[in-house]
Structure 1
Amino acid sequence: MATVSLERVRKVYPNGHIGVDNASFDIADGELLVLVGPSGCGKTTLLRMIAGLEPITSGSLRIDGRTVNDIAPKDRDVAMVFQNYALYPHMTVAENLGFGLHLRGKRQDEIDRRVHEAAKWLELEHRLDARPAALSGGQRQRVALGRALVREPKVFLLDEPLSNLDARLRLSMRVEIARLHRQLGTTTIYVTHDQVEAMTLGERIVVFDGGKIQQIDTPMNLYHQPANLFVAGFLGSPAMNLLRGRLLPENGWHLSMPHASIPLRLSPQQEAALQTWNGSEVVLGVRPEDLQPTASNTAALEAKVEVIEPVGNEIFLNLRFGDKAIVSRVPPHDVSAPGSVLQLSITTDRQHFFDAESGTRIV
């Protein structure tokens, strides 16, 4: 196991494109850290720099206190699991699992021991003689994980390892990866574009966009205290409702929008933070679960029901508020039909306010 430390790590391509811009963070010994962001944001580039597959333009990368910027990938003691599995089709499961150990000159009895241990962890003991073509997608992914496990590296690097699986397999493999990490305690860096994977797997999450770190925190802190509009809109399913308007204190605080004025019930902390924003453009963020049908005398806004999505234990109400599409998450009970108008309240202590220009959080 090992610590990993990045200090102002940059990747600049020959054409001037900045793939990663001044990434700085530390990963604790045994931590599972997730890098999450949309396609093209730089998260896989950063993972490949940690693996040594992509040269670092500037900055410092240390593994267990040793600077490894110019160290060859094979000498960094890391193991990477790729999105496409990268299994050898002519080899059996056992041969695929042990191939890297053969290259490192390990004794056959040591290889056999590690292969059988990994196969037991991953429930592949009965498939050791099979070739990849005879395996399911989930089994192939477990072989790819096992090939990294047998190396017993200091750091695991996982690059979107579940993206080729169907929804049910992704769920079971998420549980499997979490279980293995808990058992082995190996420092792990996991890259994904799936915010649900990030929230359920990561002890901490690094949110990336445009090559830059937007926020680093625990999953629930990111959800409840997003640092900016990108994080607020990216994490959460359905996404946070974002309403832009001018903050006015007429007869109590209001968010003045082109088609409506939303009365705001503010906590003392919110009111204090917003005093200097009188007359300014802000964005009000409300999670779907904090936008609830209510009696008209407590309503902040009214919206028309467009689409109802029952998903079992809850219902998503897709609503139209002026020219804005918004979503309310409600319990699975009788709801108004499409086309009806609902009065909606906003949970006071769960409102989020952002600077409309910079996108940074106000309170």
Structure 2
Amino acid sequence: MAKVSLDRLRKVYPDGHVAVQEASFEVDDGELLVLVGPSGCGKSTLLRMIAGLEAISSGELHIAGRMVNALPPKERDIAMVFQNYALYPHMTVAENLGFGLKLRGMAKQEVRRRVTEAADMLEIAPLLDRRPAALSGGQRQRVALGRALVRQPQVFLLDEPLSNLDAKLRASMRVEIARLHRKLGTTMIHVTHDQVEAMTLGHRIVVLREGRIQQIDTPMALYERPANLFVASFLGSPAMNLVEGELGRADGAGGYRLRIGDGLALALPEASGLEAVVGHRVTLGIRPEDLALAEAGPGALPARVEVVEAVGSEAYLNLDCDGHPLVARVPPWRLPSAGELVHCRPAAERLHFFDPGSGERLPA
């Protein structure tokens, strides 16, 4: 079983910088797990610790049931795909694919078999006699994947393998990696800073910030119930709208009111868990797709249209609501014009509430 287990892994550099803090999670056999976060959050450092390219300061790392803290990379039965491909420019594609196997003394016939098998799987068989300089970016990435594939490791580690590709090629290579994983059923850990890549590829996602794990869950669970303001704003494109205000009880029919400006308040429905924060400031989160154009009235916010971004199948309205920037994702027909005053209403059943001080989600 190629299960990977991290128990309180920590990385401290000689200058005292703590790059990874108490990272604990398990990657199941055959799972594709994604580490995601902004630059400098520790995700690549964590991957390099799993690979054996960075020393572990404290904690325990187990791969397939054995502790590997002190083992060199070649004894961990892993294969790594790097951001810069790391292909040998003087070798052909076939030689690049088989080089690692030859170093291990594998028989020529077995090397040839594995190279042919990987080339067929990745559809690069016609390129075996070319050198890297004669390949496109996507073809080089396939060769880098193939070089890891021929190793037949227990665990694949992918360190931002798509970041050097253009947007269209990134999308097609995401499909290739997902298809490859489904065929192989091998444990994969994929590092990226791209939240779309994380959402579309991962069975589960580990969200990191400043070396600390913020939340671990399936992509849609993270999207629909983020644990804190960082996860809420990091996952989703466009990002979640965040509006801070003072929560009070509504007059008359019940429910709540969020006062977000002088004379501007949003009527909110009754929700369990909010009573404890009445009279306090809270942050309301609204996904762009949960903010719809509406008639003026209770529960609708007046806003001025600043920019309209029509992107084909949908449009993004960039709004100014009394100094609060909002984005609404709407159908692309009958769009308002820049400068026009509109009213928008959030979907009452899909609101998110956070403590603005701690950033933690409120149980509403």
Q: Give the 5 Å matches for 1:59-74.
A: 59-74=59-74
Give the 5 Å matches for 1:348-359: 348-359=348-359
Residue of structure 2 equivalent to 1:233: 233
1:313-332 to 2 correspondences below 5 Å? 313-332=313-332
Correspondence for 1:49? 49
Q: How does 1:88-167 map to 2 (within 5 A)?
A: 88-167=88-167
Q: 1:262, 1:65 → 2: CA distance?
A: 56
Kept in 1, the 8 Å contact 2:267–2:299? The answer is no
What whole-Å deviation, never above 9, does each CA across 1:191-229 have from its counterpart, x for those lacking one? 000000000000000000010000000000000000000
Query: Alignment partner of 2:101: what SS?
Result: helix
Counterpart of 1:88, as a letter, is Y
Query: Once the 2 structures are TM-superposed, how far is the Cα of residue 81 of structure 1 from its aligned partner?
Result: 0.3
Cross-structure match for 2:257: 254
C-alpha distance in structure 1 between counterparts of 2:262 and 2:178, whole Å: 47
Query: Deviations 1:291-338 (Å, cap 9, x if unpaired)?
Result: 110111354211100111111110000111122211000012111111
Give CA deviations for 1:77-121 in whole Å, capped at 9, x if unaligned: 000000000000000000000011011111001100000010001
1:299–1:343 CA contact under 8 A, matched in 2: no
Distance 1:249 1:12 in 2: 48
Q: Distance in 2 between matches of 1:335 and 1:259?
A: 29
Distance 2:173 2:276 in 1: 49
Distance 1:260 1:232 in 2: 28
Aligned to 1:303: 303
Q: Work out the CA distance in 2 between the residues paired with 1:266 and 1:26.
A: 39
CA contact (8 A) 2:315 2:329 kept: yes
Q: Which residue of 2 aligns with 1:182?
A: 182
Q: What is the one-letter code of the residue matched to 2:133? A: A
Distance in structure 2 (CA, Å) of the matches to 1:168 and 1:257: 41
The question of whether the paired residues in 1 share the 8 Å contact of 2:288 and 2:329 is answered with yes
- Distance in 2 (CA, whole Å) between partners of 1:210 and 1:159 is 18
Q: What is the match of residue 17 of structure 2?
A: 17
Residue identity in the other structure for 1:258:
G
5+ residue gaps, structure 1, are none
Contact 2:250 2:267 in 1 (8 A): no
Contact 2:268–2:299 under 8 Å retained in 1: no
Residue 340 in 1 paired to residue 343 in 2? no
Which amino acid is the alignment partner of residue 264 of structure 2?
A: S
Residues 340-359 of structure 1, C-alpha deviations (whole Å, 9 max, x = no match): 01111110110000001000
TM-score (norm 1): 0.98
Alpha-carbon contact 1:262-1:300 (below 8 Å) kept = no
> Aligned partners of 1:260, 1:358: CA distance in 2, in Å?
27
Q: How does 1:264-275 map to 2 (within 5 A)?
A: 264-267=267-270, 271-275=271-275
**Aligned-residue offset at 1:263:** 2.5
* Aligned residue identity for 1:62: H
Distance 1:79 1:286 in 2: 41
Structure 2, unaligned stretches of length 5 or more?
none
Deviation at 1:17, TM superposition (A): 0.8
Provide the rounded CA distance (Å) in 1 between the counterparts of 2:122 and 2:289.
37
CA contact (8 A) 2:247 2:258 kept: yes
Q: How many correspondences in the alignment? A: 360
Amino acid in structure 1 at the alignment position of 2:267? L
1:264–1:250 CA distance, 2 compared to 1 (3 A): closer
Q: Paired residue for 1:277?
A: 277
Provide the C-alpha distance between the structure 1 equivalents of 2:262 and 2:116, rounded to a whole number of angstroms.
Answer: 66
> What secondary structure does 2:274 align onto?
helix
Supply the distance in 1 between the matched residues of 2:313 and 2:260 (Cα, whole angstroms). 34
Amino acid at match of 1:29: D
Q: Distance in 2 between matches of 1:80 and 1:55?
A: 17
